Chains A and B, each alone.
Chain A
Amino acid sequence: MRRLSLRGTFKYLLSVGLVNCCTVTNFPFIVSSARVRPNQEFTWRNSADGLVFSMESRMDAKVKKPKKHQQKHSGPKAEKKKAKKQEGLVEEDERKRNPKAFSVQSAVRMAKTFHRAQDIKTKKHHVPVVDRTPLEPPPVVIVVVGPPKVGKSTLIRCLIKNFTRQKLGDICGPVTIVSGKKRRLTFMECNNDINMMIDLTKVADLVLMLIDASFGFEMETFEFLNICQVHGFPRIMGVLTHLDSFKNNKSLRKTKKTLKHRFWTEVYQGAKLFYLSGMVYGEYQTQEVKNLGRFISVMKFRPLVWQTSHPYLLVDRMEDLTDPEQVRTDPKCDRTVSLYGFLRGAHLKNKGQVHIPGVGDFQVGDVGFLSDPCPLPDAQKKRALNEKERLLYAPMAGVGGLVYDKDAVYIDLPASHVNQLQEEARPTTELVQSLIDAHSTLDTKMAASKVSLFTGSATLDPTHISQHTRERRKVIFTQDEEEDVGEEDDGEGSDQADDEDDVECEETAAGGAPPQKKQKLEAERGRTGSCAELPAFADSEDELEMSEEEEEAGTPGDSGHSSEENEESEDELTDDDDDDGGEELGKQHSERESEEEMEEQGALRWKEGLQQKAAEAFLRQQEAAPNLRKLVYGSVVEVTESEEEEEELGGLFRVSRPQKSKKLQANALDCSRFHADTGHDWDVQEVLDSIRDCFVTGKWEEGQDAATLLKQDEELYGDFEDLETGEVHVRQPQDTQDDDDDDDGDEEPQVKMDDEEVQKNKRLEKKRRLKERFNSEYDDGDSTYFDDLKEELQKQAELNRAAFGDMDDESRVQYEGFRPGMYIRVEIGSLPCEFVTNFDAHYPIILGGLGSSEGNLGYLQMRLKKHRWYERILKTKDPLIFSLGWRRFQTIPLFHMEDHNGRHRLLKYTPQHMHCGASIWGPITPQGSGFLAVQSVTGSKASFRIAATGVVLDLDKSVTIVKKLKLIGYPFKIFKNTCFVKGMFNTVLEVAKFEGASVRTVSGIRGQIKKALSSPAGAFRATFEDRLLMSDIVFLRSWYPVSVPQLYNPVTSLLLPAGQKDSWSGMRTLGQLKHDLGIRNKPNPDCLYKPVVRAPRRFNPLHIPKELQKALPFKSKPKQQQPKGKTPRDLQRPSVIREPHERKVAALLHALSTVHNYKRKNAHKVQHAKHKEFLQQKEKDEEAKLKRQREAKKKLYRVMGQKDQKKQRSSLKGAPSDL
């Protein structure tokens, strides 16, 4: 039992059950209330029977405050400190105190250290890119990945609870939360299915990789890491769980260390690995989760190439918009589906092409942006988020904002929100509801309201409109819109004025405003043309207009059938406007009149020759602010309607004006030249003067004029002293004075103020220039290419932000597309019905935008390497599943190797440890995109599943892979170096094709094909560098082009029924097919082992020539020994047959001789032994004799020696006496 603290005046003791209920319902409240009061603290205590939840307060005054630190001012301690301080002052600068230590010891070493420092500095540089991150970025996608039962859902739940204080049951689909003032997070759980792992890697910003420490790494972890490596490496953070299963602390530490180091080798040295030490009531420890959350919320992400260059959506809400009736009649019909999510990556263009991994490629039907369901808090200066701002949005999990059922909308609000919201909502419930509705379905609403105008007055009821639910509206849209258009067209044909009215009405209705306003508007239209009455969410087109031409207060009715018409109405409006000057008005009047005249002449004439029109239009633009945008792009409504016209009316109303004019213009001369027919007469001086300032000889602007520039220089450098002469030049002060006087000559009263102002401005300007100059001079030496580039890109980024920053979103999306960070709704028609029927929210739906030609198919040439952990090598022409770009698809690769001469040569198998080329038929994907390949995505295998990885090198519409082909022929007639060869070709034509080709024999003799022979067919004459043998084989080495099979089979795993989504199987490999069908290849009989049969060897007799025989010595001469022939009969002796008596005698003799022989043998044996003994004796004697002799000799020598000694001694004795 561990207790953190127990010092309280009162405690809450709760049973386990109570605590549970507290965490479910009131826990957030309690926590927050605890936060309010600072002196409270919580204590958690584990006890045998449950949890003791104690809360204590130190509010009472009895508790003593801790003693404050007092600084000593006297005594030894204080003196010591003082002395130290003074000393410190003396030896302040180390360099000065000890200059020797800092002097240059070695120039070489200094250079080396400098180089090293520079190297390290440069290594840190990345290639700078333009910062295209939006101001309000989309939520960060955090993918939580790991093998089953490792605690993924628990971790997500804990993190969500940590950030939002809310509990989420089933984690289903993406969960978006607001984690801080500037950051939102989207959590997504990734299960063990390799399809899901691949898809989520492509959208992940951060990966939380859960690892079961009690088990260690699992294959999925490594697979996922490898997938990450291929598709750009998102941030990866490891999380170790199940650490409480370790009983032994030492083994825990050891495991942590080994796991950490393995993780580091996979990710990078020092990658963050979190430890979640244990569970407390099915949740991770709060402090640990909090730490993890902090790490996540301060993390920075690197831009990944693929993600930043493509728009994508992690769909968090899906709705089926298909007509229910159609679904009823044909359950398998294609569905229209709207998908919602935060846009990420790049800008998304309307009507672009997208790929949904697991489903296929689709054309985006319609895109619209909605209000953010999970917005960041408004900019405020406080530190933390309040309860209201901690939002949670997970429609697929059934939490946050709106939950759509089949025919109802549930608005789910957290308990804390309810009170405030209700207060707001009560008075204008309709408004709120319509707002909630309107943002999501603006376009559908437009369509619906259009209808309501024409079908009857009853539908004009505003309550009716607001009561419409989404599905019902959709039905109306499909049924009635066309009718509506038809009606509208009829009206147009009949009467012009009427038409305008109609359109105006329609306009108001389309805006989604209550139709009650219509009459009022119409009434007002005569007097003012102001748009103030128009609803805020009017037609987007109008919004644009407003922003562009602010002078014209009135937004024209966006009838938009032709630009002229629009301009006319504009004119009308400006005509009515009081603000405009009279002169301008007059011009417009005249213009309008002329236009009306033309109108009367007929529609056909009006539209004749758009070139002239354009020129005229431009001229007109000079008077009134023109609407070039409309001239160029028309209005969106116009385009669609004119198309519908064509479809709808067919031959009946062919004579319509715009159509006709288009026809006339359609086949005109295609020329880029712009012929001027403006009628400027360039002989007139005035006209000439109008462009006078375009030339350097003309007048310059204030800031750039040479005179002013000179003067500025004067100001800067006017005062100087010539040091040689000692002259001091001072600039003339009256110079500027004069100038000022000139400027202010006319208006004296205001001069004083202006003068000061001017002076001040001038001073500021001068200061700025000086600073600029100083900066440029100062930084010049230091700025590198890298710095310049970075600065340039920084400027571009600023420009990007500024260019459309001041526009409203409606018009902005038209120019730059939908910004990343927007919450958008994408409508896609003709999705397969399985997408809806087999929808499983646990699987991510990703909408990946495609570049301009990425929707096409072609041949891709890639560099591929079999993964070193994959057990087998890959076979050419075996189907393989690739993950490339957004897509997962099955295709048939051909492996090849590039020869030294650039030839791509087919390989049968991938090399073991080397890169090779691979060519596939697949979707065009930009070069440099990484890919990975797997053999199958079905189920899970024990072994590593990623078969190969690589990168796209080249895209083309044809391939040049060849394989070697050896044609073999046999010589059938050989002249000197010429030879006739047969068997290589079948016809003369074939030979003709290969005339001049080089051939070779097996023995290495090279030659050339010369000419075909008439017979036999296919034989030819060839010359060689040497004479051939009949046994030679001639071969011709040639290269045969191989074609890449055009198989592109997208993996449609998302269409499979729920629960079986990981069981997609495509084309089988040859090996699998054979295995399944039980087919075994008949082996080539030549390759089989056979018993070795060896024939006995026969040698011919050796023949020695007679001459040689003669010369040989006798020993070596062959002996003429004839084998003995059979003895002739006459020489054969007859056998003797004995008489019985003789036989007895012979037997006796034999017995006797046997006995005799025995005796003799024995005697001989005895004799032998005796002799041996004798020899031994003799030897012994000999030895004794020798011994004796030696003794004697010894004695003798001794005596002799003694004698000698004596003699010597005597001689020696004698000698001294002699001396």
Chain B
Amino acid sequence: MASHGLTYDGCNFFRQRLVLSTLSGKHVKIKNIRSRDDEPGLRDFEASFIRLLDKVTNGSRIEINQTGTVLFYQPGLLYGGPVEHDCHPQRSVGYYLEALLMLAPFMKTPLKATLKGVTNDPTDPTVDLLKSTALPLMKKFGIDGEAFEIKVVKRGMAPGGGGEVVFTCPVRKTIKPVQLTEPGKIKRIRGVAYSVRVSPQMGNRIVESARSVLNQFLPDIYIYTDHMKGTNSGKSPGFGLTLVAETLNGCFLSAEMSSTPQGQGEPVLPEDLGRNCAKLLLEEVYRGGCVDSSNQSLALLLMTLGQQDVSKVLLGPLSPYTIEFLRNIRDFFQIMFKIEVQTPLDDERKGGDKVLMTCVGVGYSNINKTVK
């Protein structure tokens, strides 16, 4: 009588499918994973992700064929507890953390995940970004508590890695519906300019250049410099900047930029990086919405898993990742979002079009949590 599963092609949006499968209990089969590629099959980082999924669940069945081009995943129940995982350095910890953020509130026991690997790289949202945007977002959905945090114990830059992040999250039985339709005005900008295994001056140079751009809008800017030394500095040198703009209504928009990994591509000047990152933040502000563009899918998932009530969230333009996520949500939960475009008035100077997403939650309740 096991419920019917879903079948997908290709390894893109691999994480969302497995995460949604775990939450909905529907098994999933992913075929043709790089089947035409020179190196067919799953990559190491994907295998590592599957292993992480196996660690936080109980009773999952994972079948991968010989070449690694077909994956069958029958989800178990989310177990949680203390988990330690060595993330593959091909992708940063953010890749794994994004999935854990979606799963963590629905575990049997509160999750305490120690993820080791690359904390900052240019491809994925870094740990700092998730820490400053995803957590406040989740707090709006009622996932809160003293043990809800992401802690960067060690910083490890790509490609060497060697960083360590501790993510702890309490469990919730239900998720509150939210109405995030008014982002409010940006009141302050904060940021972290981090540097490891390079001159500590790098941080200050980044801060200077970033401030020069942002000061045109706002005086309240403070960018911390975070220089880690010794064992906490990982294996590779590098630096970067994460900027977060906080609005009056407690919405967080962020942008970030990391230096190119050692031995890959041209090196970047810290001044350029700071300036570009600030511009990225302006771009993000231009897109606007109540949710950062990299956290759109998280917000949509939590809306879907809410009570059977209407939730509304104002987003900036939907990213391709989010669009696919919406499709997957429809496949797994039969939930469609009402998508309304809000075009700003002529005299308003508030950036581009916004998208108002409305949905009715599925009435999801955490079936893993034990009642006594």
A contacts, CB < 8 Å to B? 130, 132, 309, 346-347, 349-353, 360-361, 363, 548, 610-611, 614-615, 618, 621-622, 625-626, 628-629, 631-633, 662-663, 665-674, 676, 678, 680, 682, 688-700, 796, 799-800, 803-804, 814-817, 851-858, 923-924, 926-928, 953-958, 1048, 1050
Contact = CB atoms under 8 A, between A and B. Distances in A.
Contacts of B333: 349, 852
B32 interface: yes
B103 interface: no
B1 A360 contact: yes
Contact of A666 (B11, B282, B337, B362): B11
B321 interface: yes
A631 B370 contact: no
B371 A927 contact: yes
Interface stretch (B145-153, B212-220, B235-243): B212-220
Given A674-B294, A856-B3, A803 B358 contact: yes
B142 to A, nearest CB: 12
Given A674-B322, A694-B185, A852-B24, 5 more contacts: A667-B12, A673-B294, A694-B349, A852-B26, A856-B3
15 contacts: A132-B308, A309-B308, A632-B326, A633-B327, A670-B14, A673-B319, A674-B293, A690-B351, A691-B349, A799-B309, A804-B310, A815-B337, A851-B362, A857-B1, A858-B77
A673 B284 CA distance: 12
Interface stretch (B157-165, B190-198, B200-208, B338-346): B338-346
A393 B337 CA distance: 36
Interface string B8-45: 01111111000000011110000011101100000000
B349 A689 contact: yes
Nearest first, the 8 A-B pairs at minimum CB distance are A666-B10, A957-B59, A853-B25, A855-B3, A674-B319, A349-B334, A803-B310, A682-B279
A353 B352 contact: no
Interface string B270-287: 000000000110110111
A673 B123 contact: yes
B321 A672 contact: yes
B185 A927 contact: no
Assign chain B's interface to a size class: 35 or more
B348 interface: yes
A363 B32 CA distance: 27
A1142 to B, nearest CB: 114
B244 interface: no
B178 to A, nearest CB: 10
A913 to B, nearest CB: 21
A852 B125 contact: no
B123 A633 contact: no
Contacts of A669: 12, 123
Contact of A855 (B25, B283, B319, B330): B25
A1131 B59 CA distance: 106
Contacts of B283: 676, 678, 680, 682
A692 B365 contact: no
Contacts of A614: 318-320, 323
Interface in B156-201: 177, 179, 185-187
Contacts of A928: 371
A250 B372 CA distance: 51
Given A130-B307, A690-B349, A676 B360 contact: no
B77 A955 contact: yes
B211 to A, nearest CB: 15
A363 B108 CA distance: 28
Contacts of B104: none
A997 to B, nearest CB: 27
Contacts of B286: 680, 690-691
Given A671-B321, A680-B286, A691-B350, A696 B218 contact: yes
B336 A633 contact: yes
A1167 B52 CA distance: 127
A691 B318 contact: no
B68 interface: no
A1029 B286 CA distance: 88
Tell me if B's interface is mostly helix, strand, loop or mixed: loop
Given A633-B330, A817-B334, A817-B360, A670 B12 contact: yes
A911 to B, nearest CB: 19
Nearest to A609: B320
Q: In the complex, which of the residues A689, A698, A1048 has the most CB atoms of chain B within 10 Å of its own CB atom?
A: A698
A671 B360 CA distance: 27
A672 B319 contact: yes
A184 B316 CA distance: 46
Nearest to B35: A667
Q: In the complex, which of the residues B123, B216, B318, B320 has the most CB atoms of chain A within 10 Å of its own CB atom?
A: B320
B124 interface: yes
B86 interface: no
A360 B1 CA distance: 8
Given A347-B360, A852-B23, A926-B365, A672 B285 contact: no
A819 B343 CA distance: 31
B155 to A, nearest CB: 20
B317 to A, nearest CB: 5
Interface in B283-310: 283, 285-288, 293-294, 296-297, 307-310
B15 A682 contact: no
B186 A696 contact: yes
A923 B2 CA distance: 9
Given A633-B326, A680-B283, A853 B24 contact: yes
Nearest to A618: B317
A618 B350 CA distance: 17
A692 B340 CA distance: 24
B123 A672 contact: no
A695 B360 contact: no
B58 interface: yes
Contact of B363 (A346, A691, A694, A857): A346
B370 A927 contact: yes
Given A680-B283, A926-B367, A958-B58, A662 B9 contact: yes
A363 B23 contact: no
Contacts of B330: 633
Contacts of B177: 796
Nearest to A797: B309
B189 to A, nearest CB: 9
Given A668-B12, A670-B15, A621 B336 contact: no
A680 B282 CA distance: 10
A668 B362 CA distance: 30
A692 B23 contact: no
B362 A956 contact: no
Contact of B1 (A361, A631, A853): A361
Contacts of B47: none
A138 to B, nearest CB: 16
Contacts of A691: 217, 282, 285-286, 349-351
Nearest to B335: A349
Given A800-B360, A857-B1, A927-B367, A667 B123 contact: no
Given A666-B32, A673-B123, A696-B248, A629 B339 contact: yes
Nearest to B1: A361
A694 B25 contact: no
A611 B12 CA distance: 12
A800 B338 contact: no
A803 B296 CA distance: 21
Contacts of A350: 334
A353 B367 contact: no
B364 interface: yes
Contacts of B337: 632, 815
Given A690-B286, A852-B333, A816 B360 contact: yes
B364 A665 contact: no
Contacts of B2: 855-857
Contacts of A680: 282-283, 286
Contact of B309 (A668, A695, A796): A796
A363 B5 CA distance: 11
B143 interface: no
